[in-house]
Amino acid sequence: MTYDDFNAYCGSLPATSHVVQWGGAHVWKVGAPAGGPGAAKVFAIGGWADDRPAFTFKTSELAFEILKEQPGLRPAPYLASRGMKWIQHYDDPGLPDDDLKLYLAESHRIVSLGLTKKLQRELGLNQP
């Protein structure tokens, strides 16, 4: 997956916003960027690799335990060292693009569940 593919996919998910920060990383957030402090939360980061694309995303505890041992994947630098369940896809073989998209969508869902119920309703997230 390229950064263009990553950005296009993350941008296709509902209620997302994109910023470039932290040394040129593509940071994707879910929530309302103008909705006040804490209204948008990071769900995916593209960047932080020296010579190839790297993609970082939040996972469930079970997925974290499985993925952290896979070739091309690792606990995300900075985030996992603080006890957070984030994985970084940084090398081959890593995940096929379709699987990476599934994990990005799941990260979006997990992070969106941390938004207030009111904001989730306003944005049409996690509704039956």
pLDDT in tens, 90-110: 998 999 999 999 999 999 999
What are the phi and psi torsion angles at 107 (to 5°)? Answer: -60, -45
Strand runs labelled E in the chain: 16-21, 25-31, 40-46, 55-58, 73-75, 86-89
Q: Tell me the whole-structure pTM to 2 decimals.
A: 0.91
Separation between Cα atoms, residue 16 and residue 33, nearest integer Å: 8
pLDDT in tens, 4-39: 999 999 999 999 999 998 788 999 999 976 666 568
Distance of CA 52 to the CA centre of its chain: 18
Separation between Cα atoms, residue 125 and residue 113, nearest integer Å: 8
